[in-house]
Amino acid sequence: MEGTTPLLDSEAVGDLVLLDPLTEESLVQTLQERFRRHDIYTYIGNVVISVNPYQSLPLYTPEKVEEYRNCSFFAVKPHIFAIADDAYRSLRDRDRDQCILITGESGAGKTEASKLVMSFVAAVSSKGEEVNKVKEQLLQSNPVLEAFGNAKTVRNDNSSRFGKYMDIEFDFKGEPLGGVISNYLLEKSRIVRHVKGERNFHIFYQLLAGASPELLQQLKLHQDCRNYGYLNRESSSLPGMDDAANFHTMQDAMRVIGFSPTEVTEVLEVTAVVLKLGNVQLSSSFQASGMEACSITEPQELHEICKLIGLDPGTLEQALCSRTVKARDETVLTTLTVPQGYYGRDALAKNIYSRLFDWLVNRINTSIQVKSDEQRKVMGVLDIYGFEIFQDNSFEQFIINYCNEKLQQIFILMTLKEEQEEYVREGIQWTPVEFFDNSIICNLIENSTSGILAMLDEECLRPGVVNEDTFLNKLNQLLATHKHYESKETQNARRVTDTSLPPRCFRIHHYAGKVTYNVMGFIEKNNDLLFRDLSQAMWAARHALLRSLFPEGDPQKVSLKLPPTAGFQFKSSVALLMKNLYSKNPNYIRCIKPNDTKSAMVFTPELVLAQVRYLGLMENVRVRRAGYAFRQLYGPFLQRYKMLNPRTWPRWDGGDREGSEVLLAGLAFPAEELAFGHTKIFIRSPRTLFNLEQQRQERVAQLATLIQKVFRGWRCRTQYQLMRKSQILISAWFRGHRQKNHYKQMKRSALILQAYARGWKSRRLLRELKSQRRRHAAASTIAAHWRGYQARRTYRKYFRSSASTRVANFIYWRLVQRYLVGLAKNLPPLSVTDRTWPPAPYRFLDNTNQELKNIFYHWKCKKYRDQLPPARRTQLQAKLCASELFKDKKTLYPKSLQQPFRGEYLGLKQNPKYQKLLAVAKDKLVMADTVRKVNRASGKTVPRLLLLTTEHLVLADPKAAQPKTVLSLSDIRGVSVTRFSDGFLALHLKEVSTVGDKGDFLLVSDHLIELVTRLHQTFEAATGQALPLHITDRFSTRFPKGDVSITVVESPKAGTNGPVCKKKGSHKMEVLVH
């Protein structure tokens, strides 16, 4: 094999082809040593062996992706990215379709390996909005398929319970266009039963843990897993797995792939139906004929299922408890026993889930498949179950191991073919390799006439009594002499005693070892029957998705033809898979589980040795080492080892092959150890390669010493020259610096001398100037005293007695004049809200200043009033009137200050319903509002429309918009209100009024302050008298049946909608206000 430094480690070689000596023990020891170093990947040629570390390692960072991008496969340490890069570049650059086969037993890391391959291809391919969308859809298919196809087993917390093959399609530039997914053999028996310590499929636990309460209620589910029989009524907790978060991840992935919200809901509904079917319980009963029958014990679960899928409960109950049998032209309805009923229930659940899984795969394919017809390149990724040997092996293990036999066959044949093609291509003599050809085992299983699967199908179709014993007897008869088949009967015939082979079992000698299969359940699992009544019941449901899963249930398309058996379907799928793999260039990843406890970095040699045998790794190494263990292109080989021969070191000017021949000729290796191909050098044994590598390491050490010696000499010479140059430079700079400092010192001395000279001259001039200024000051003082003396003498000559009064008056009027002029210049703003005024500059002007302030403020107010429009002036007059009436008297008044008095609150002109009321007002309307009239008998209130005009007060019915009471303003003798913040008022009428003897009115208004104010203004304008207003908590009202005393009480029991009036006898009323 090709190899470089990362692979040539004598203690733990990176390529097992170079292992010497080659034994099972040395192979496992090498894997263990590399595993201890956290090197979980190892090569066998171009095959990658991956050992699951059960912990996260820093091997998959973006930096690692870049390291293995466009790398030489054998120039870097073994890594899964290397084989992914090699496959991708072969597809992109050489136009060769590729397939990556990932095998290994459960828990070995196959699913993670497939995701790593896909993520690497997504990372190294081109970028772009459409390309990124395709990549995201391809990657997001994993969470959906893992949720519905993976489960916890005793060996693996995320075990794939189905085989998956994905074809990723690329265009000519290597950009992903889409893909197609194929699934194989979903373990649907897990739906109805699983062993203790395992779990059912992840989706059930994710749905219960992650769905919202509303969604669970819609699906008729409870969050506790212990409520469901198919979950073994056990807790769902699983360390290290967040089912709720995984559920949301799965939902997001479905949205990215392109599932509509309706499709997602339908999928979850079908999942809930499968889960709830496990809770349908059957009980035994006996008919009048004495035959046993079964019936539904608790119909509640059945009704909820039928409500979910839109099916009549009677239809589903009949399908679960009875069966329609057609004999010639007759149809007979037979009842089922309880075991038969449970078999039908479980068969229905398994079929629904299996078909739902197939539908999901097809729906994902619809989204990710390539829509265009352009030429495409394909990379296939096969993630399929490995060889399985359990304590009790059944039908599932039989067909899984059959698939692994086929994969081993293609692996050996393709590996030998690749080896032979390379030898022929390089012109090297090909020596046939002896290896175990497992075609005889494949033929034993798949032969169309005498194979085990053919016998199983024949037994399933045979009329009469059919069971596993008749099937085993037929195998014993036909395969008695086959050297890879044995059973208890064949051993007895050969007089062989083997207590490890129990009765009702047979054993096959697979390439990976002997496996004993128990035939119990083979017939049932191969038939995979579903009663036609159940198919027809599902087709009758109104649930679109569920109905589409059972097309055979259509009564118009009834077919008496038996469906193909499970074994036949799987054999056809494997044949199609093999044909697909043969058409592509294979790449292999062999996954190994290091321990059974899923512990991080724990290596169990016995367990790994068993897997080495299952995977046929020793056979693989022997095939790769059949001729020459190591081969490499001449150019890299010469570049690596040219220092071993003086003729090729340090540079070889000839061809690479000639240089390699000259190089090896000087090393005296035996001729049989070497072969020279057209483009590569071949070395037979790893020992020769390691000898070559050891000589290279010794020569590299010698060359390193020489390089160090030359380098140290060069460094010392360079350092000396640098120091000499630095010394010359420092000396030059120092001399220049010293001369500069000397010049600066001379310059400073000259400046100091100049400064002293200029200072002496300036001080002399200053003394002269000071002397001259003193003389001038003395002369000025003498002149001033002389002029003062003359003025005083003249003043005394002309002095009179009234001179002081005149001077005082002059000063007074001068101060007044200054004050008034200053006031005129500093008048405050003309805003009526501004009460500022300049203070008096002298105390004798305080009274004058206050009078001027008052005069100026009144003038400002008059000027403001003259500018007001009539409507605003009227509104302010009303506000002023309200202030005079209620300020500091009623608690409600401060709240009304910010509310403008609108007057008209009903919209009489806009509402045609109020035309009659508008006619009553006759353009004399003052206020229109809605009030509540208190019933004098019960205290309850009724709504009324109040219209106040310049002559009348009108109360009208709001429904009919007709006046009920019209009062003249002259009929009003007073108004009473409370002192609280309520809208209660009493309208007192004169004993003789235009409305007769109706008595006083009790009203509740939301605009009490405005109503009383406008009534006061209108009353005063109409009668020339002020309206009597009483603000009190107790007052008396006159009713037709006598006077009533009203008491107003502030109480928290009063409603927020207004006062509450309560009659206390015939002559008392209590009003509760808030």
Active site residue 156: yes
pLDDT above 90: residue 621: no
Per-residue pLDDT tens for 168-216? 888 888 888 888 998 888 888 889 988 888 899 999 999 999 999 999 9
3-state secondary structure 527-548: HCCCCHHHHHHHHHCCCHHHHH
Active site residue 105: no
Which of 99-113, 422-436, 674-688, 988-1002 is predicted with the least confidence, judged by mean pLDDT?
A: 422-436
Q: Which of 46, 160, 516, 976 is catalytic?
A: 160
> Counting every residue, how long is the chain?
1074
Tell me the C-alpha distance between 130 and 134, whole Å.
Answer: 6
Under DSSP, is residue 76 helix (H, G, I), strand (E, B) or coil? coil
Active site residue 159: yes
Mean pLDDT of 709-733: 94
pLDDT tier at 799, thresholds 50, 70, 90: low
At residue 52, the pLDDT reads 93
At residue 6, the pLDDT reads 52
* % of residues, the chain, pLDDT over 70: 96
At residue 1018, the pLDDT reads 92
Beta carbons within 10 angstroms of residue 671's beta carbon: 7
Give whichever of 763-772, 810-819, 823-832 has the largest mean pLDDT. 763-772
Per-residue pLDDT tens for 499-532? 788 888 999 998 878 899 999 988 888 887 788 8
pLDDT above 80: residue 560: no
Per-residue pLDDT tens for 279-323? 999 998 877 666 888 989 888 999 999 999 999 999 999 999 988
Beta carbons within 10 angstroms of residue 883's beta carbon: 15
The DSSP code sequence of 412-476 is HHHHHHHHHHHHHHHTPPPPP-----THHHHHHHH-TTTSHHHHHHHHHH-SS---HHHHHHHHH
Per-residue pLDDT tens for 141-154? 889 999 999 998 87
Q: 457, 427 in Cβ contact below 8 A?
A: no
Give whichever of 53-67, 85-99, 119-133 has the largest mean pLDDT. 53-67
At residue 738, the pLDDT reads 93
Q: Which of 42, 103, 111, 335 is catalytic?
A: 111
Tell me the C-alpha distance between 404 and 511, whole Å.
Answer: 9
pLDDT tier at 128, thresholds 50, 70, 90: low
pLDDT above 60: residue 816: yes
Mean pLDDT of 523-547: 87
Per-residue pLDDT tens for 996-1023? 677 889 999 989 999 999 999 999 988 8
Active site residue 386: yes
Tell me the C-alpha distance between 224 and 396, whole Å.
Answer: 31
Q: Which of 14, 107, 149, 341 is catalytic?
A: 107
Per-residue pLDDT tens for 372-386? 777 788 999 888 877
Q: Which of 14, 104, 386, 567 is catalytic?
A: 386
Mean pLDDT of 327-333: 71
* Residue 477 structure tokens: 């008869």
At residue 3, the pLDDT reads 42
Q: 1073, 1059 in Cβ contact below 8 A?
A: yes
pLDDT tier at 754, thresholds 50, 70, 90: very high
The residue ranking higher by pLDDT, 138 or 248, is: 248
Mean pLDDT of 745-756: 94
Active site residue 372: no
Q: Which residue has the tokens 């085990």?
A: 452
Q: Which of 114, 142, 156, 367 is catalytic?
A: 156
Which of 468-472, 532-536, 555-559, 928-932 is predicted with the least confidence, judged by mean pLDDT?
A: 555-559
Q: Which of 136, 175, 304, 388 is catalytic?
A: 388
Per-residue pLDDT tens for 653-662? 888 888 888 8
Which of 43-57, 712-726, 865-879 is predicted with the least confidence, judged by mean pLDDT?
A: 865-879
Q: Which of 42, 46, 50, 106 is catalytic?
A: 106
Instruction: Identify the CA nearest to 976 among candidates 1048, 1067, 1042, 1054.
Output: 1048
Per-residue pLDDT tens for 846-895? 899 999 989 988 888 888 888 888 878 888 888 888 888 888 888 888 88
pLDDT above 80: residue 129: no
Mean pLDDT of 888-906: 86
At residue 615, the pLDDT reads 80
Q: Residue 1039 pairs with which residues in a beta bridge?
A: 1042
pLDDT tier at 10, thresholds 50, 70, 90: low
Q: At CA 666, angle to CA 660 and CA 671, rounded to 5?
A: 75
Q: Which of 114, 153, 159, 526 is catalytic?
A: 159
Under DSSP, is residue 800 helix (H, G, I), strand (E, B) or coil? coil
Active site residue 111: yes
Which of 33-42, 103-112, 793-802, 866-875 is predicted with the least confidence, judged by mean pLDDT?
A: 793-802
Against a cut of 0.95, is the pTM above it?
no
